[in-house]
Structure 1
Amino acid sequence: MTSEERFGVTKDGFVVKGVDRIIADQQERARAMFGDDVDLTSGSALRKVLDAAAVDTHELWRALESQYYGTFISTAQGPSLDLLGRDLGLRRRELRARGPVVLTLADAAPDRDYVLPQGTVMVTVPSPDVPALAFRSTDAVTLTTERSTATVEAEAVARGAAGNIGFGRELRLDPDWARHNLNLGAAVIKSVAGRDFLGGELGEPDAVYRARLLGVPRTVWTQEALLARILDVNGVRDAVVLDPLGGVEATRRAFGTFRFGSRGFSGARQTGSPYFFDIVVAPEPGWPWNRGEASLPGLYGEVLDVVRQWRPVSIFPALLAANQVDVGIRATLVIEAGHDEEAVKGAILDAVRASVDRLRLGHGVLHSDIVLSARTTAGVVDVQNLRLRRFAPAFGQAYYGGATYGGAEELSVGENLDLAPDEIAHFSVDTSMADLRVVVA
């Protein structure tokens, strides 16, 4: 047997023997047993028996291949991946139930827009037997007296089948969240499930679960181990550990203002005294940072409980919420004749939001990525004079580090939007930050 004819476990992985090779081997053994003149034509009885056996043998080879690759995280699937995850102490997570919610505005003031931002928290009406369930909107929506009804997609805060509420289930704005984030006045917003919520009973896909398993640290008391636990907290979009070894922290306001010629840089450090480091956490839109801002648990307390279990002895973190930077765009779109202008603009905004939402803390928005997202949209011929915009964060989205209110910056054509280590980009489809002019080719 030559190296090209090796099957099973090889240095290149598991090689499955094909049906044609199995049939050829069976016919060779049949001739050795019954003689070279045995009838192996397609119509003979012996040939039909050998062909049927070859199919079963090939299925056995495929099962052996699946069993072999099921022992590695990078190639395992389904139940095999679940078993490997249990060995690492990380089980497959359930998904969050999703569905539409119909919002209705009542007792509204005339000539006023009521904006419900992305992440608006709604809760079900509790009963003695069923506790209240929390849901968050995935998009922003604006209600007025002329447009008093709108439908928005929402997802359950907690994972699992409990979030699969039925059609017509009544919800309401979370009172604590609305008090800290909205100013409705005398207006009342009612909400009801537009159809059955689905997906809570499903597990996360293999690709997502595999990525989590591959990122599990194999050691303790490391920056990676601590960060992995923080990222697994419900409501955390992203996080970063800054200054884990006691170096200079560039995100502090005092950085760059120290007068080196006037006083000593620091006093002598006492033996056994702890040093400190920072953990910057970016919450998901609408998620409360402090306890009492919503019925949801505050991220500060949730992350702090995790850090207490995983921090090294005598080393204490300072938990800081990331500053959210609202990103906008201005460009001229050249589209093909016959395409709906509003549909093309909506598809581009959705693509841009997906691109920006994938960015992590401190990662700037690249001009080329936005151009690529726009040009790959169906019907778009060209994108001209695209400029990125940086808007000052809204109240409640800046926590420390010198955020500026009331002002915006428009960059030059081709210029990237750089972010500080404690900033994270955010783009909303339902916003006036996007100025897109359409020209038909």
Structure 2
Amino acid sequence: MSDQDQYGVTPDGFVLKGLDRIVADQQARARAMFGSDVDLGSGSALRKVLDAAAVHVHELWRALEKQYYANFVTTAQGDALDLLGTDLGLERQFQYATGTATLALTGADPQRRFALPRGTVVETQGDPPHTGLRTTATVTLTAGAPPLTVGVRAVLRGRAGELPTGQALQLEPNWARLHLNLGPATVTAAVSAAVTGGTLREPDDTYRARLLGVPHTLWTKDALLARILDVPGVRDAAVFDPLGGVETSRGDFHTYQFGQRTFTAGRRTGSPYFFDVVVAVEEGWPWHKDESSVPPVYEGVLDVVRQWRPVSVFPDIKPADQVDVGIRGTLVVQAGHDPEAIRGEILTAVQAGVDRLRLGRSVLHSDIVLTARSVAGVVDVQNLRLRRGAPAFGDVGLGHAVFGSAAELSVGENLTLAAEEIAQFALDSPLIDLQVAGP
């Protein structure tokens, strides 16, 4: 079998020729040229020349391998991945700047505590335009107590979201009016650690995942969904056709198969047709423009859909149903470990896992148990039950959701969600009852 059959571009990809193989091939050619008795010992001048040349040849093979894999999104890196993204019309995005801020409460009854949820919107003071930030954790404030530090992330990507240390902040007035009940109390805030990192670009893994999700057709459910997921503030989204009951008075529901034919087939040209988009919003992002100075999600999604919908095809955009998730159970902890630290670590890990869930994805009992048992010091997890809070409905009613009351599931039972529902887990949720016991 020749070298061309073994190395270079093959049906299985690019096969790199190793340095040992290059050295062996060069020595074989030397013997063929100068005779079988040529001195190729480690001390000979010819051997040293061949070894030096073999290193350069190996670097050439490595460069060829890199160039070959730079042609594919799944294997390209760095600048090569940027070029492929340019071809697909999707540039590498800037990241969100991050930092920390201090929050303090004044003018309130010392006996009262005010909880600012994760996603609370703060902004710079003075004349607009303001730079907005969102908190990354829940903060409980008490009048007269020392200021608390919380992580913050910029609302906008890029340099526009960066702020220096000491920058004075305030609660965004419209957001605070809708989501908080402070009364005469006032929250003062300032940047405690510079909000930086907005000039950095998203890493290769994140960018590659976005490129792999780029559809290659002009109008499909996937093509539209890919554009909606890029709208700031969108946690997840789903396109339904039909959704199955959002607007049951429309006679064309249950008569159109979304993925089996084009939008223009099966209907008269020019006649209006409605499809449904359900959007799950990140914490702190407003739905409409009158709720906050932060760019609203609804208007952003609507602008994207208008650019990608065919003629006379109209979206019915609805916010997803947010379902609060809680847990109840008992942790058995080894002696010598801090029970509160273990409890906090478990709840933080559970929150991170729930945040990764998409629309309609169930919360699995086994995932919560494995998360708890993976924390150092935990011996056992007993009688763990999932809890489901009453959903905060966003005008989506398909007949699958649980209305009106919370529910506690049996041990081992998964929390199943409908297609228009998405789970959320708050560290300060009243649905959490996690007791810690010794061995």
TM-score w.r.t. length of structure 1: 0.90
> What's the counterpart of residue 110 of structure 2?
110
Flag the 1:23–1:312 CA change in 2: closer, same or farther, 3 A: same
- Comparing 42-51 with 382-391, greater Cα deviation is found at 42-51
> What's the counterpart of residue 136 of structure 1?
134
Q: How does 1:38-187 map to 2 (within 5 A)?
A: 38-126=38-126, 131-145=129-143, 147-187=145-185
8 A contact 2:354–2:423 mirrored in 1: yes
Q: How big is each residue's C-alpha offset from its partner over 1:332-370, in whole Å with a ceiling of 9 and x where there is no partner?
A: 112223222122112211111111111111112111111
Letter in 2 for 1:238: D
8 A contact 2:320–2:396 mirrored in 1: no
Tell me the percent identity.
61
Letter in 2 for 1:168: G
Letter in 2 for 1:273: S
CA distance in 1, matches of 2:100, 2:297: 26
Q: How does 1:26-425 map to 2 (within 5 A)?
A: 26-126=26-126, 131-145=129-143, 147-243=145-241, 247=242, 249-251=244-246, 272-393=270-391, 397-401=392-396, 407-425=405-423
CA distance in 1, matches of 2:304, 2:416: 31
Flag the 1:21–1:5 CA change in 2: closer, same or farther, 3 A: farther
CA distance in 2, matches of 1:105, 1:197: 22
Letter in 2 for 1:430: D
8 A contact 2:116–2:138 mirrored in 1: yes
- Comparing 73-82 with 334-343, greater Cα deviation is found at 334-343
Once the two structures are TM-superposed, the CA of residue 392 in structure 1 deviates from its matched residue by 2.2
CA distance in 1, matches of 2:13, 2:57: 20
8 A contact 1:109–1:145 mirrored in 2: yes
CA distance in 1, matches of 2:248, 2:270: 27
Flag the 1:347–1:433 CA change in 2: closer, same or farther, 3 A: same
CA distance in 1, matches of 2:438, 2:92: 48
Once the two structures are TM-superposed, the CA of residue 36 in structure 1 deviates from its matched residue by 2.6
Once the two structures are TM-superposed, the CA of residue 37 in structure 1 deviates from its matched residue by 2.7
8 A contact 2:319–2:396 mirrored in 1: no
8 A contact 1:251–1:422 mirrored in 2: no
Q: How big is each residue's C-alpha offset from its partner over 1:65-90, in whole Å with a ceiling of 9 and x where there is no partner?
A: 01000001111111111100000100
CA distance in 1, matches of 2:403, 2:186: 29
CA distance in 2, matches of 1:406, 1:116: 25
Once the two structures are TM-superposed, the CA of residue 271 in structure 1 deviates from its matched residue by 8.1
Letter in 2 for 1:34: F
Query: Unaligned stretches of 5+ in structure 2?
Result: 251-266
> What's the counterpart of residue 25 of structure 1?
25
CA distance in 2, matches of 1:102, 1:178: 17
Q: How big is each residue's C-alpha offset from its partner over 1:244-275, in whole Å with a ceiling of 9 and x where there is no partner?
A: xxx472455789xxxxxxxxxxxxx9985322
Q: How big is each residue's C-alpha offset from its partner over 1:12-46, in whole Å with a ceiling of 9 and x where there is no partner?
A: 11011111111111122222233333322222332
Q: How big is each residue's C-alpha offset from its partner over 1:154-184, in whole Å with a ceiling of 9 and x where there is no partner?
A: 1001111232211111111111111111111
CA distance in 1, matches of 2:182, 2:342: 33
Flag the 1:122–1:414 CA change in 2: closer, same or farther, 3 A: same
8 A contact 2:215–2:223 mirrored in 1: yes
Flag the 1:252–1:334 CA change in 2: closer, same or farther, 3 A: farther
Flag the 1:271–1:201 CA change in 2: closer, same or farther, 3 A: closer
Name the SS for the 2:289 alignment partner. Answer: coil
TM-score w.r.t. length of structure 2: 0.90
Q: How big is each residue's C-alpha offset from its partner over 1:379-413, in whole Å with a ceiling of 9 and x where there is no partner?
A: 222211110011124xxx43224688874211110
8 A contact 2:113–2:141 mirrored in 1: yes
Name the SS for the 1:196 alignment partner. Answer: strand
CA distance in 2, matches of 1:404, 1:176: 31
CA distance in 2, matches of 1:101, 1:398: 32
Once the two structures are TM-superposed, the CA of residue 146 in structure 1 deviates from its matched residue by 5.5
8 A contact 2:104–2:145 mirrored in 1: no
> What's the counterpart of residue 436 of structure 1?
434
CA distance in 2, matches of 1:92, 1:292: 31
CA distance in 1, matches of 2:184, 2:156: 31
CA distance in 2, matches of 1:198, 1:347: 26
Once the two structures are TM-superposed, the CA of residue 241 in structure 1 deviates from its matched residue by 1.1
8 A contact 2:318–2:394 mirrored in 1: yes
Once the two structures are TM-superposed, the CA of residue 198 in structure 1 deviates from its matched residue by 2.4
Query: Unaligned stretches of 5+ in structure 1?
Result: 256-268
Name the SS for the 1:157 alignment partner. Answer: strand
Name the SS for the 1:355 alignment partner. Answer: helix
> What's the counterpart of residue 8 of structure 1?
8
- Comparing 168-177 with 405-414, greater Cα deviation is found at 405-414
Name the SS for the 1:292 alignment partner. Answer: helix
Letter in 2 for 1:139: A
Q: How big is each residue's C-alpha offset from its partner over 1:294-321, in whole Å with a ceiling of 9 and x where there is no partner?
A: 1112211111111111112111111111
Aligned length: 420
